[in-house]
């Protein structure tokens, strides 16, 4: 049984952010509403990070809430915010206080938003013939990098993505990635 987080109140705040995204993605909800929710969630995560001067990891907020924090960062509309929090999540993963899958997802989304090749193969672009993997750095080393963070081989991930798993699309020209169950 997992330990009780140090700050379950902050964990609940983060989980409420996910619930707000779920509500904003229901059919018939205007896209502007989702964009506003992403901005509000980013502000909540920023306040939590500023108060604690670190990433809200498993010990502080619990595993589910820490994963939600990563999803908030992935969908953050402010690229500079992603730039600031990515090293914090990296430190937390290295300390064993966050999931490597979350780091892979945020790293790739950040690299793609900077128009750089991704590292872990979590980001796809929609096309007329379905999804296309966004270019990767050193594709021959992709599975090695994925394994280092606890991700499944890319061929298995790719099969799941193309097999119809739910994808969350960011507004605008952002790539697609699997986020509901966590990138693996």
SS (H, E, C) 56-124: CCHHHHCHHHHHHHHHHHHCCCCHHHHHHHHHHHHHHHHCCCCCHHHHHHHHHHHHHHCCCCECCCCCE
Provide the residue-wise pLDDT of the chain in tens; the chain has 184 residues: 468 999 999 999 999 999 999 999 989 888 899 999 999 999 999 999 999 999 999 999 999 999 999 999 999 999 999 999 999 999 999 999 999 999 999 999 999 999 999 999 999 999 888 899 999 999 999 999 999 999 999 999 999 998 875 444 443 345 555 544 444 4
pLDDT for the residue numbered 176: 55
pLDDT for the residue numbered 65: 97
pLDDT for the residue numbered 12: 97
pLDDT for the residue numbered 111: 98
**pTM of the prediction?**
0.87
């Amino acid at each position: 049984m997992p330990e009780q987080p140090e700050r379950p109140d902050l964990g609940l705040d983060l989980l409420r952010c996910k619930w707000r995204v779920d509500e904003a993605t229901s059919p018939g909800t205007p896209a502007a509403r989702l964009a506003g929710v992403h901005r509000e969630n980013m502000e909540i995560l920023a306040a939590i990070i500023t108060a604690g001067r670190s990433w809200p990891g498993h010990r502080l907020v619990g595993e589910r809430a820490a994963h939600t924090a990563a999803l908030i960062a992935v969908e953050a509309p402010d690229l500079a915010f992603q730039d600031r929090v990515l090293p914090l999540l990296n430190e937390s993963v290295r300390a064993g206080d966050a999931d490597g899958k979350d780091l892979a997802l945020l790293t790739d989304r950040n690299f793609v938003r900077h128009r750089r090749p991704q590292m872990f193969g979590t980001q796809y672009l929609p096309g007329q013939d379905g999804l296309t993997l966004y270019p990767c750095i050193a594709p021959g080393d992709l599975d090695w990098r994925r394994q280092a963070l606890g991700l499944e081989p890319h061929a298995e991930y790719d099969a799941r993505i193309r097999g119809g798993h739910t994808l969350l699309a960011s507004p605008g020209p952002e790539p697609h990635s699997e986020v509901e169950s966590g990138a693996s």
